Every structure is written in C-alpha cells, then in structure tokens.
C-alpha cells in the first residue's frame, strides 16, 4: 500500500515536512510512538517520529532532516508522489499522567519528536515548560506550536541567532534551581542528539527528577527481529523498538548509544556522495 504525499514544506535548508496518507497509523497513533518508512521497493527502512496526526483526514505529518542518502532522496519527492511503506505505529507510547510541572527539552529534529508528547502532557493537565535548542535560528522547529501548549517556552541556539546563546542544559539547570524553592519539577522529557540527552540526565540526576529520553538508535525492522537497535539500560540489554523507544535516562548507557550510531558512518558517507554525484551534487 503506497502513501501519497499531500503536503510538502521546506522548513529550512535541512528540514522538511511531509503530510502523507496513512489512515491506519493516524487512527492508532499515540504520543511517543514512531513509524518506519521505505521510499520504494529497493529502498532502506528508516524510523521517523510522527509530529502530528489527523485521523479525520487519515494523514500523518513527518518532519525529517537530510542527514543521509535516504533522507536526501526523500527530500526530492513532491506532492502527489508516494512512499512505498509507512509501517506503524511502532514502539510503546509515552506514559502520560498528571505529574504536575514538567519540562520538555527538544534539540534539533528532536523538537518535532517531543511535540506530540508536549500536547499530550498539556491536555492531561500538566504545567508544561519547553526548552528548544538548535544550531541556528533557521533550524528551529515548531516554536509557535510549542508555545500554544506550554506555560513557558525557552529558546537556545549555538550561535546566538535567536534566544539565548548556549545549550538547553544551561536553561534546564536554572529552571530546576528556580522551582526547587517552591513545588519543584516532577518530570523531565528530553529528545535530541544522544550527547544532549546524556547531559540532560546529568543535570537532573542530583535532584532525583524522573527523566525520560527517546533513543534514536540504528533500526531496521522495528519489530525486535534484527537486534540492531539494542541498548543497555541499567546494564541489561533492551531493544529500542519494542522495549522503548523511551527509557529512564538515568539508566541509559549513553556512551554505548553514541558509539553504535557511528558504526556505519563511512558507508553512509559513501552512499550519500554517490547519490549526490548521480543527482547533480545538490541537496534539495
């Protein structure tokens, strides 16, 4: 079953938004879950987090960054084109309850991943604060949408082009200290580069704040059969696709996660260079 692209937006030089037809996913999706897509019969499978669903239209919205051959190829598709597969929803949904004050930290495309979680937490009566980080202003995602659900939204950029120059963890540490004098912070959720999530865990650990991260490991089938997405949680092996993708940040072996993500860098670079050479040397 193919999935037609009914909307395409170029959000920045690197980020794209696709709204695609996927009724089965849109009707069953819950915050925290993901899909695995394939562009065509000979394409690789890649996991993508769903930013939004519209069950009435039978569509899901995907936001992705061009980081390799498949996402570069995907960025060249247009409205009316179709993806060969969109399998999901996969993984376990976020545990949502009325916790109290919750801080949600999103870095890069992790902002799109954490957006459905922010909505679910806010709808459940939580006081949600968001911290959004990007390398530069043009790569910042969904700021307006986040503000509509959060009691406070804080922006950081590496180059200082918008918000505060620095890291999301700087703001996180300050907010935790600020609210420690009153009723505190009851939960932290973080999605972004593994190093960012590791640093978030280091900030929250001394305060004993439950901290949840979503691990973006190498993944192929999404059903636990291939084992490529294995991670170590409190010294025990788990599979991100069926045991996660969310885990207790204080138990994650982030050094292993970071190391495994670099396993295929050489092959990924080669595939990307060959694709760009074939297509004229330009990203969309």
CA contacts within 13 A on the Cβ side of 54: 12
The ranges assigned to domains in the chain are 3-90, 101-214
The CATH number for 101-214, chosen from 1.20.140.10, 3.40.50.80, 3.30.1330.60, 3.40.50.300, is: 3.40.50.80
> What local confidence, expressed as pLDDT, does residue 182 receive?
87
The set of residues, in sequence order, having a beta carbon less than 8 Å from that of 25 and lying 6+ positions away, is: 35, 50, 53, 60, 86, 88, 89
How do residues 206-250 score in pLDDT, each as one tens digit?
999 999 999 887 767 667 777 777 889 999 999 888 888 999 999
Residue 198: enclosing H or E segment and its boundaries?
helix 194-204
> What local confidence, expressed as pLDDT, does residue 274 receive?
67
How do residues 134-154 score in pLDDT, each as one tens digit?
999 988 999 999 999 999 999
> What local confidence, expressed as pLDDT, does residue 130 receive?
97
Residues 128-159 as b or e (16 or more Cβ within 10 Å = b): bbbbbbbeeeebbbbbebbeebbeebbbbbee
- The CA–CA distances, whole Å, from 270 to 33, 68, 188, 282, 284 equal 31, 10, 38, 15, 18
> What local confidence, expressed as pLDDT, does residue 2 receive?
85
Per CATH, the homologous superfamily of domain 3-90 is Translation factors (2.40.30.10)
SS3 label, residue 240: helix
> What local confidence, expressed as pLDDT, does residue 263 receive?
61
Residues (pLDDT < 50) of the chain are 283-284
> What local confidence, expressed as pLDDT, does residue 29 receive?
94
**For the whole model, what pTM was predicted?**
0.88
> What local confidence, expressed as pLDDT, does residue 255 receive?
87
Question: DSSP letter at 272?
Answer: H
Residue 143: enclosing H or E segment and its boundaries?
helix 143-147
The structure tokens listed for 272 are 């990307």
């Amino acid at each position: 079953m193919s999935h037609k692209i009914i909307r395409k937006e170029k959000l920045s030089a690197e980020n794209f938004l696709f709204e695609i037809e996927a009724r089965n996913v849109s009707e069953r999706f819950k915050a925290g879950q993901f899909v695995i897509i394939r562009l065509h019969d000979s394409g690789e499978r890649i996991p993508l987090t769903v930013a939004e669903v519209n069950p009435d239209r039978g569509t899901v919205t995907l936001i992705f960054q061009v980081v390799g051959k498949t996402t570069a190829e995907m960025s060249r598709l247009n409205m009316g084109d179709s993806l060969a597969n969109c399998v999901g929803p996969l993984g376990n949904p976020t545990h949502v309850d009325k916790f109290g004050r919750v801080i949600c930290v999103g870095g890069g495309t992790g902002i799109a991943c954490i957006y459905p979680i922010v909505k679910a937490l806010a709808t459940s009566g939580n006081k949600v604060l968001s911290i959004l980080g990007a390398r530069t202003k043009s790569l910042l995602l969904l700021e307006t949408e986040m503000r509509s659900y959060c009691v406070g939204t804080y922006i950081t950029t590496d180059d200082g082009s918008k918000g505060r120059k620095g890291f999301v963890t700087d703001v996180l540490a300050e907010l935790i200290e600020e609210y420690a004098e009153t009723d505190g912070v009851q939960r932290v959720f973080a999605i972004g580069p593994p190093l960012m999530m590791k640093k978030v865990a280091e900030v929250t650990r001394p305060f004993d704040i439950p901290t949840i991260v979503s691990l973006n490991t190498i993944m192929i089938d999404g059903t636990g059969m291939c084992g490529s997405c294995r991670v170590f949680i409190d010294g025990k092996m788990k599979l991100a696709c069926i045991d996660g993708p969310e885990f207790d940040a204080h138990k994650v072996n982030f050094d292993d996660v970071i190391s495994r993500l670099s396993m295929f860098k050489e092959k990924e670079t080669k595939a990307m260079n060959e694709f760009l050479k074939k297509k004229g040397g330009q990203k969309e």
